[in-house]
Chain A
Amino acid sequence: MQAAYVEFQLDSSTMNTREFYASRQGTQRFLTKEAVASAITYSEVLVRNKSDLWAPLDFAFDCTPAAPIAVRTTITTYKAGDQPNIGLLRFGRQELMMPGSTFRFVAWGNLPPLWIGQVFLIGKKRAAARVTALFPAEPEIDTRSEAVGVMPIQLPPLELAKLKAYRPIALTARYAIVQIPLGPDVRRVVVNGWAVPMIGESDA
C-alpha cells in the first residue's frame, strides 16, 4: 500500500469553525480529512448549496485529519459590511490559526504527487500552506507494528458505537475525531513511526 506522512506549515491564517455563538467564532486546532484531501488534490466546488456540505467526498485515497504539531491561535476583532444586523459574523471576534502553525497527516491509497516545498490551499478561505516534511512509505496493514504515536482519525459520529475505546478530540454533527488506543486487535499502518488505526471502510 502506498502511504505518506506529511507535515505542513501555514503561510496564511485560516480556521476550522468550532463554536459560533454570541458573535464569537472559535476554531478547532485541526483540519478535517476532507480539507486535507481537497487541498492535496487541488479540488474545489465553485458553487454549492447548503445541502452539499453533507455530501460525502470521494477520493482515490484516504487520510487522517491534519493534527496540530504547533498551532498558534489568536482572537481577532471582526467587522464586515455596513449593517450590523445583516448576515452572520458582521461584528465580533474570530479566532484564527496563525501563519507559521504546523500540522501533520498521514494519507494512504492512490496518492497524488507530494513533495517538500509543495504549496496547497487549505481551510477556511483556503490559506496557502507548504509541505515541510514528507516520508513516503509502503506499509502493510497488521496488528503488531509499534509506533511512537497514534494519529487521530475521523469517523461519522454513528461509527463511534462500534469502537471498544477511544479518546474524543472533537465531536460535531457531521464527524467525530478520535484517538484510538493501539490494542493487539487494532489493525494499523505505521508510517514514519505514526500509527493509523484502520477502522471502517478504509479497513477493506
Chain B
Amino acid sequence: MTQPTIFQLPKQWQATDLTGTRINLMREGVITFVGVKRLESEALFVSAEGGGTLRETAKVEFAGKERYWWIARKVNGVIRRVLLTELNVPDCTVDNPCLKCEVCLLMGGMRESGDQRTIFSRLKLQDLISAQTYTYDEKFRVRLPDDPTERGSNPTPFQEVIVPPGTEFPFIVRIIKPSERDLALFLLGNRVADGLGYGNYSKLRGDATTRWLLIVNGFFHISTHDLLEKADKDGKSIEETIKSTADSPVGVKPDQILKGQDVVAKVVDKLVSAVRA
C-alpha cells in the first residue's frame, strides 16, 4: 500500500494562521476519521424533558427504523473539557473561551462581549445514530436518600429508558484545515472522554470505546444513513460495512485512506502519545 500522506500536515496552527478570509474546505484540506463507538456500559442520553419521573434516551426514525440518537454536542462537550484539563490551559473555560488557546482554535468558540469574535469549529462530529434498533425498555429504579435513617427521608422511585451496553454507533468525524496537532488533540480527547463516560450520571455509566477503522486524507463522502441501511440490507456488522467503503471510496483516492485496524491503531497511538509526551 502506498504510504498515505496523512502526516504531511502542518505541525500546528497559531491563532494568526486562521484568518477571516473565506476558505475552500477542499483546498485547505480535510481529514476524515471513521470508526465505531461502542457503549461498554449502559448510558442515558436525555435530550427532551420527560413527563413525571420518566427519563428517556433520545431516539430517531432513520434509515428504516427507530434508533438510539446520541447528539454530537454530548460528545463534543466532554472532549472539550478533557482537553482543557489535560493541557491545563490557563484562562480558558467552557463558559469563557479565550479564543487563543489550541483547544479554542480547534473546537471554536464565541466571545459575546467586546469585539464579539467567533472562531469556527474545525472539528466536525456527526450525530451518533445506533446500528441497533431502539427498544423501549423502561427500567424502574429507586434513588435512596443520603441518610436513610433520617426522619422523613424516603426513597425516590423513577424510570429510565437507557441505551444498553454493546450498542454500536458509526462515528464520523472531520477536521477541517488540519494540523498534526489537531489530529492528536482530538484523538487524545476522544480516548480520555471514552473512559470518563458520556450522558447522564457518567460517573457510574456511559463509558465507551472507539475502534478507528479508516483515516482518510480528504473529504470522504460517507454517510451514516447509507452505512446503516447497507449494514441492515446485507446483514453485516457496521464495522464490516465501514471497512467495505474503502474498496470504492467516493471523493478520495484509495491511497488517501489509511485502513487496517492495526495500522490505524498504531497511528492513533503515535499521535496520542505525542501530546502526552
Contact = CB atoms under 8 A, between A and B. Distances in A.
Nearest to A129: B223
B221 A117 contact: yes
B96 interface: yes
Contact of A128 (B117, B223, B251): B223
A47 B117 contact: yes
Q: Which of A12, A74, A77, A86 has the most CB of B within 10 A?
A: A12
B277 interface: no
B172 A128 contact: yes
A125 B73 contact: yes
A127 B225 contact: no
A109 interface: no
Nearest to A38: B22
Interface stretch (A48-56, A152-160, A184-192): A48-56
Interface in A72-115: 72, 74-77, 80-83, 86-88, 90, 93, 96, 98-100
Contact of B120 (A45, A80, A88): A45
Q: Which of B46, B72, B126 has the most CB of A within 10 A?
A: B126
A13 B71 contact: yes
Contacts of A125: 72-73, 121, 124
Contacts of A98: 60, 69
Contacts of B112: 87-88
B14 interface: no
Contacts of B223: 11, 117, 119, 128, 130
Contact of A42 (B26, B46, B127, B220): B26
A113 B97 CA distance: 37
Contact of A47 (B18, B73, B129): B18
B209 interface: no
A5 to B, nearest CB: 20
A41 interface: yes
B20 interface: yes
Nearest to B21: A45
Interface in B23-63: 23-26, 46-49, 58, 60-63
Contacts of A121: 25, 124, 174
Contact of B95 (A9, A48, A49, A86): A86
Contact of A46 (B18, B222, B250): B18
A203 interface: no
B122 interface: yes
B226 A130 contact: yes
Interface in B46-104: 46-49, 58, 60-63, 69, 71-73, 77, 93-96
Nearest to B26: A42
Nearest to B61: A100
A126 B23 CA distance: 15
Interface string A22-65: 00000000000000000001111111111010000100000000
B224 A11 contact: yes
Contacts of B72: 12-13, 125
Contact of A82 (B73, B94, B116, B117): B94
Contacts of B48: 74-77
28 contacts: A11-B223, A11-B224, A12-B127, A13-B72, A42-B24, A43-B23, A43-B25, A44-B22, A44-B23, A44-B120, A46-B18, A46-B119, A75-B48, A76-B58, A77-B46, A77-B49, A87-B95, A90-B95, A96-B71, A98-B60, A99-B225, A100-B225, A119-B220, A119-B221, A125-B72, A125-B121, A125-B124, A130-B226
Pick the 8 closest A-B CB pairs, nearest first. Answer: A50-B116, A42-B25, A12-B127, A81-B95, A76-B47, A119-B221, A130-B223, A12-B126
Interface of B: 18-26, 46-49, 58, 60-63, 69, 71-73, 77, 93-96, 110, 112, 115-122, 124, 126-127, 129, 172, 174, 176-177, 219-226, 250-251
